[in-house]
Amino acid sequence: MNAKADTLVSGTLLSRSAELLSRTGESGRRRDNAAFLPHPGPLPLGEEEGRCSPELPLSPTLSPFVPHGEREPATAMSSGAIPHQPSFIRVDSRESRANSPAMPQPARLRVHATAFTRPRADDTPGDDVSAARALDDGTFIAVVADGLGSARQGRDAAEKTVAHFTANFRNRPRAWSTAKTLEEITRHLNRQLHQEGLARHESPELASTVVAAVLDGDRLHLLNAGDSRAYRLRAGKLEALTHDHRDATQTHVLTQALGLADTVAPHLVQTDLAIGDFILLCTDGLTDVLDDATLTELLAERTGARGLVAIARERATPETLDDITAVVLEVQELGPAASATPVVLPIPAQLKVGDQVDGYTLRRSFRASDRIWLAAKAGKSFVLKFAPLEAQTNDATLTAFIRETWNATTLKADYFPAATAPEDATARYYVLEYFHAPTLKQWVADNGPLSTADAVTLGKFVLAAGQFLLRHDFVHGDLKPENILVLGERGELAFKLIDLGNVAEVFSVNSRAGTPSYLAPERFHNAAVSEPTEIFALGATLYEALTGKLPHGEIEPFQTPQLRAARPPSKLNPHIPAWLDAIVLRAIALDPSDRFAAYSEMRYKLEHPEKVKPFRSAGSPLLERDPVLVLKVLLAASVAVNFFLLWKLRSH
């Protein structure tokens, strides 16, 4: 982004925010994939198809909703790591999904896409990222993000934005409309970027514009925040479909962008599609150079993304030179008319033993709330979790349950019971794998504290599950013994992590969500949920599993406790070795800087007890923190007293 429109207007932001958001023009750098062009003239779409680069990964950031190793290959993009190569691929959303060449296929949306980026400086990557891809359900999504050049993490924010939109839209709940999905993705991503920027840099350093287009059947859905734009060329007429979020009196000031404030108000558009439409998504590096008349002429000549970028680069002045990105979509065939009504499923008001739900027979309720049931189907047992009754009238509660279902069914790993949402469901629920096993809370109550070996197994299991979630930008949010199932026998225990109802994007929640007795102290003061806060919850869980006691006793939801350093667990269970004592105490340290900084660090200590040093927090008694010093002080005091008594005797 150049010297224009990079500042958010907000009375709540600190002066650092204003400094961050002022465009410098010096850091607006983009990867140069067009340097080899022999001329900057227009290149028709058909010519670009013959010079495609190999498929490149979407971005280094792993999608928060796509299981590791199950990513879709990028179909068109502009953020590859190979310099001086065009990063575009022809996307045909119909032919690539034909079931059989011998059978006639129903109408499907067909889109031809090209995407291209050139950085401001040829030798360094810039802050623009884009992607365009056809999805398995027949829809097509394209996203362009322009990281704010004045923010230290502008490119990182842009990469996260593109990865988040493409992956999350692909896995969207069928209960959400396209507009609802785009809004939810934007809201959660904005909060995550903002909180992460504050947590890591104490200012909103992760910031980006975004423009996203979803083509579904015969409809076009658009969302934008910032000054990245979308246009449509139809019958020779160009129309700007998005709204620039720039201050009316200061065009260098942005009024909206992702990551700059706790909330964002994107601009949404829904309109029709027609065969022959050209949709252009671009950053301000293009539109600050090429006016509407020029864009109309070039698109009418079927100029592709590379040609647009090359022409803009040639005509740019030192004042307008910036990273330049364009994505051009040509609608070649329309799909069937898209339904504007999302799937609406009823929420059962009353459930009782013997009820039949889609072939599942309800056997017994797990909780008094009557929302979680053991059920049987085809001779097998399952757990059915129904939406809360409040979701009938409260949209926020319904959205939270849909998101919980989304998380449970998408985050697939052995750490959690397998979850599915039946395609033919007639009610709002999802299905979980059933384990006939107690929770860790009940197991300890029945069998006594865990052995050292089982405690280490538990710690390594939860840390591995935490790392899996973190790779998807998530944290569990409610780690505690009640949310861990215990399998196997003492000495050979295995575990499962349950209840993904509080799973949230890391840094996205700064409330007291969770169970108070396991919350890190900073969570009571609106600190965001993060790796260190999850490590505290694990430490409290290990403390209870080893002693049967909570490190700070039972804390009520309405309390804001003033905590003191916990008593060493070895004082309650003398079988705990000193090294495990130290690990648990460090995990539950009141000061986040005293805790393990990462899951991997704590796991390493559990695997290498010989390298664990004694831990004494600043709030623990001096005798525990430095017994040698206490002995020295006592010895010195004793000597001083003896000298004094000797002097008194001699004076008499």
| DSSP track, 548-589 | SS-TT----TT------PPPPGGGT-TTS-HHHHHHHHHHT-
Q: Flag residues of the chain having pLDDT under 50.
A: 2-92, 94-103
User: CA-based Rg of the chain, rounded to a whole angstrom?
Assistant: 29
Strands 7-8 and 253-254: parallel
Query: Residue 433: beta bridge partners?
Result: 382
Q: Which two tokens stand for residue 631?
A: 């002995």
Largest CA distance in the chain: 120
In terms of C-beta density within 10 A (0-12 exposed, 13-18 middle, 19 or more buried), how is residue 222 classed? buried
Name the region of 644 (left: φ>0; alpha: ψ -120 to 50; beta: rest).
Answer: alpha
What residue segments make up the domains of the chain, in order of their start?
7-96+105-179+207-333, 356-433, 440-620, 628-652
pLDDT in tens, 156-215: 999 999 999 998 898 888 778 899 999 999 998 998 898 888 878 878 889 999 999 999
The CATH class given to the 356-433 domain equals alpha beta
The pLDDT of residue 121: 87
The pLDDT of residue 563: 87
The architecture that CATH gives domain 440-620 is Orthogonal Bundle (1.10)
Q: Which two tokens stand for residue 628?
A: 């040698």
Query: How far is CA 52 from each of CA 133, 160, 389, 468, rounded to the nearest angstrom?
Result: 15, 25, 53, 34
Q: Which amino acid is at 204?
A: P
The pLDDT of residue 149: 66
The reply to whether 440-620 shares the fold of 356-433 is no
The pLDDT of residue 1: 56
Q: Which two tokens stand for residue 140?
A: 């097509």
The pLDDT of residue 21: 38
The pLDDT of residue 472: 82
Query: How far is CA 494 from each of CA 456, 485, 490, 501, rounded to the nearest angstrom?
Result: 11, 8, 9, 22
Q: Which amino acid is at 178?
A: T
Distance (Å, whole) CA 21 – CA 254: 8
The CATH class given to the 7-96+105-179+207-333 domain equals alpha beta
C-beta separation of 636 from 613 below 8 A: no
Spell out the alpha helix ranges (H) of 202-268: none
Q: Which two tokens stand for residue 343?
A: 């799937």
Closest CA to 274 of 212, 333, 216, 339: 333
Query: Residue 439: beta bridge partners?
Result: 485
The pLDDT of residue 52: 30
Residue 240: which residues within 8 A CB-CB, separation 6 or more?
229, 230, 231, 292
For residue 516, give the DSSP letter. G
pLDDT in tens, 502-549: 888 777 766 677 899 999 999 988 888 889 999 999 999 999 999 999
Spell out the alpha helix ranges (H) of 127-177: 154-170
Residue entry with tokens 């209960």? 175
Distance (Å, whole) CA 280 – CA 308: 10
Closest CA to 258 of 145, 128, 403: 145
Q: Which amino acid is at 73?
A: P
